[in-house]
């Protein structure tokens, strides 16, 4: 995982070939702050254990 400041993007390398139908899950933990120093906060009703946010993507290779 790395951050591209020019593109303001988080770059994730899954370390394996992404196969259609698989789910990629990103678990963002508390402690992440933005450029203004504001912390990442969980969305109301979306707290998942110790994670601040969980993003899930289903791979679709067309």
Task: Compute the distance between CA of residue 34 and CA of residue 23 in angstroms, rounded to an integer.
Answer: 27
Alpha-carbon span 17 to 37, nearest angstrom: 35
pLDDT digits (tens, 9 = 90+) for 23-39: 989 888 888 888 889 99
What's the chain's average pLDDT? Answer: 86
**Mean pLDDT per 10-residue section of the chain, whose length is 62 residues:** 87 88 89 88 77 89 74
């Amino acid at each position: 995982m790395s951050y591209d400041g020019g593109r303001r993007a988080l770059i994730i390398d899954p370390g394996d070939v992404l196969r259609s139908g698989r789910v990629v899950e990103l678990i963002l933990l508390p402690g992440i702050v933005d450029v203004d120093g504001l912390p990442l906060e969980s969305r109301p009703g979306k707290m998942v254990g110790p994670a601040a946010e969980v993003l899930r993507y289903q791979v679709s290779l067309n």
